[in-house]
């Protein structure tokens, strides 16, 4: 099993040299902010935020409410609309983030143990296979949705200089955060 993991990770790291600078994460960030995968034109230095983001970013709304009501549905749409290369970038990023990988593998293992009396062999290989199905066949799974929910949850706590718009400078700052961050599990 350890050999399978090492070979798989070596192949993924070799492939990672052709990554596009985490453009998949930028597309998702853009969709959350503007309901469009593309980066907006910052005419006059500002771009309008989407009504959905504004509604979910109100101080009266709790983060938990946002997560439970809309975020998963938004991610389902976004993640299924990404192309093969973007999905590969997501899997590469997840595999490079050991903390996230370990937590998701643990959740996967717990789910397997809950459904099967006899724990199957090679749980890690089954987990990796499930991740690859997302890239190859666009088969979205709950663990990838959990990863993205945790990855972007604090975006909805962001405050900008204008409540209905984001400046180009604020966007660049947010973009830098969400194309380099790793999830912190507590």
**Would residue 184 count as lying in a domain?**
no
Is the pLDDT confidence value at 41 over 50? yes
With respect to residue 66, please indicate whether it lies within any of the assigned structural domains.
yes
Nearest to 178 by CA among 31, 48, 70, 52: 31
Assigned domain for 109 exists: yes
Taking only the tens place, the pLDDT of each residue in 107-130 is 999 988 887 777 778 899 999 999
Q: Is residue 23 part of a domain?
A: yes
186 located within any domain: no
Q: Is the per-residue pLDDT at 17 higher than 50?
A: no
Report the pLDDT value the prediction gives residue 180, as an integer from 0 to 100. 83
Predicted confidence band of residue 62 (pLDDT cuts 50, 70, 90): low
80, containing H or E segment:
helix 72-80
pTM: 0.79
**Overall number of domains in the chain:** 1
Host domain of residue 72: 2-178
Cα 20 to Cα 4: distance, rounded to the nearest angstrom: 26
Confidence of residue 14 (pLDDT cuts 50, 70, 90): very low
């Amino acid at each position: 099993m350890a050999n399978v993991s090492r070979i798989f990770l070596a192949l993924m790291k070799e492939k990672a040299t052709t990554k596009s600078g985490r453009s998949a994460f930028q597309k998702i960030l853009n969709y959350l902010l503007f309901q469009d995968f593309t980066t907006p034109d910052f005419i006059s230095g500002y771009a309008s935020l989407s009504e959905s983001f504004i509604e979910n970013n109100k101080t009266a709304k709790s983060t938990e409410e946002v997560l439970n009501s809309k975020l998963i549905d938004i991610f389902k749409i976004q993640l299924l609309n990404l192309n093969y290369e973007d999905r590969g970038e997501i899997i590469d990023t997840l595999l490079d983030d050991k903390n996230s990988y370990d937590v998701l593998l643990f959740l996967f293992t717990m789910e397997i143990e809950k459904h099967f009396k006899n724990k199957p062999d090679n749980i890690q290989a089954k987990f990796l296979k499930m991740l690859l199905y997302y890239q190859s066949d666009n088969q979205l799974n709950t663990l990838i949705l959990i990863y993205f929910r945790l990855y972007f949850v604090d975006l909805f706590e962001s405050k900008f200089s204008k409540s209905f718009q984001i400046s180009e400078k604020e966007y660049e700052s947010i973009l830098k955060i969400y194309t380099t961050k790793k999830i912190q599990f507590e």
